[in-house]
Amino acid sequence: MTATLSPATTAVLSLTGVSKRFGAVQALKDIDFDVHAGEVVALVGDNGAGKSTLVKTIAGVYTPDGGTMTFDGKQATVSSPAEAQHLGIATVFQDLALCDNLDVVANLFLGRELYTGRALDEVTMEQESWRLLRQLSAKIPSVRIPVASLSGGQRQTVAIARSLLGAPKVVMLDEPTAALGVAQTAEVLNLVERLRENGLGVILISHNMSDVMAVADRVSVLRLGRNNGTFAVSQTTSQEIIAAITGATTNAVSQRAARRESSPATTPDGTPSTSEEQS
């Protein structure tokens, strides 16, 4: 984790000047963005700021109208999700996109099933599924039950595990904790830590500032489709980030956060207590 913020390492994925418009809506305008190996970058912004659009552009769902993308040091264009996957960019979309009627194994290997001879190699796929889930310390009771019977956190786990099968270099998670309870959120954040430990570049979209402060190394703020600042988590406060998100230096949330900050519960240097985990 030492090299995480060092400018010496080149970014595994970096975008410069990326734009995307839908009809009259300029969803993204001149976006610069990068992520390094073993780094968690949080992508934050208000509803409609363009976070999902940016993720989908990187993932090859949308083709950008302008700008360049370099992946692993080489300029890259992705025109389909399959291409992005092949390149090493895995995405867990907000709506997970699991097949409820299929079991965990089938979902994990969907689109890249293993074969023995002419038939699917169910045994190796099941074995691999367990290996993958154990590696993530995931709690799934059985891989032979339909995905519909799993809890929200377990479904998220399956979706994340699924994204790791192609041995990607970058994983993008769109609001992975949005619909989850406390315990399940913790489970998913643990998973994100695990991804970073494995040397992946992680792009985490989240609305939840405490999640962001808990796991991210850097925070990149989008506002109305434009970059609105990048912050190293160890050197910022959630208040500062919220200000960048809303575009206001003072608003109800940031004022309240400021009041909290001066209360006895905070650390001596004034950073929120959550950032302690980073050191």
Partner 1 sequence: MSAPTPTPEAQSADTTAALPADLQDERLIASQGVSGFLRAFLSRLRSGDLGSLPVVVGLIVIWGVFQLANDAFLSSRNLVNLTQQSAATGTIALGIVLVLLLGEIDLSVGSMSGLSAAILAVGFVGHGWSLPLAILAALASGAVIGAVYGLLYTRFGVPSFVITLAGLLAFLGLQLKVLGKEGSINIPFDSGLVKFAQASFLSDAVAYVLVLVVVAVYVATRLRANQRRTAAGLSTTPVVALAVRAVALLVLLGIPVYVLNRDRGVSYMFLLFVALVVVFDFVIRRTRWGRSVLAIGGNVEAARRAGINVRRIYVTVFVFCSTLAALGGLLAAGRLASANQGSGGVDTNLNAIAAAVIGGTSLFGGRGTAYSALLGILVIQSISNGLSLVNLGSPERYMITGGVLLLAVIVDSLSRRSRAAHGRA
Query: What residues make contact with partner 1 under the rule CB under 8 A?
Result: 81-82, 85, 93, 95-102, 106, 110-113, 115, 118-120, 122-124, 126-127, 130, 139-146, 148-150
Taking CB under 6 A as the binding criterion, the range among 51-59, 176-184, 187-195, 209-217 that sits at the site for ligand ADP is 51-59
- Report the partner that residue 144 touches, choosing among Mg ion, partner 1, ligand ADP, none (CB closer than 5 to 8 A by kind): partner 1
Of 12, 15, 45, 219, the residue at the interface with ligand ADP (CB under 6 A) is: 45
Q: Contact 78/60 with Cβ under 8 angstroms? A: yes
How many positions of this chain bind ligand ADP (CB under 6 A)? Answer: 11
CB nearer partner 1, residue 11 or residue 96? 96
Q: Binding to ligand ADP by residue 153, rule CB under 6 A?
A: no
Q: Contact 58/69 with Cβ under 8 angstroms? A: yes
Of 17, 48, 111, 199, the residue at the interface with ligand ADP (CB under 6 A) is: 48
Which are the contacts of 83, defined by CB distance < 8 A and separation ≥ 6?
60
CB nearer ligand ADP, residue 47 or residue 262? 47
Q: Binding to Mg ion by residue 53, rule CB under 5 A?
A: no
CB nearer partner 1, residue 17 or residue 141? 141
Sheet hosting strand 66-71, strand order edge to edge: 25-35, 13-22, 66-71, 74-75
Provide the minimum distance between the beta carbon of 50 and Mg ion in the complex, in angstroms, as a whole number. Answer: 9
Q: Binding to ligand ADP by residue 246, rule CB under 6 A?
A: no
Burial class (CB in 10 A: 0-12, 13-18, 19+), 161: buried
| 20 bridge partner residues | 28
Buried b (16+ CB within 10 A) or exposed e, 208-243: bbebbbbbbbbbbbbbebbbbeebebeebbbbbbbb
Give CA–CA dist 4/194, Å, rounded: 15
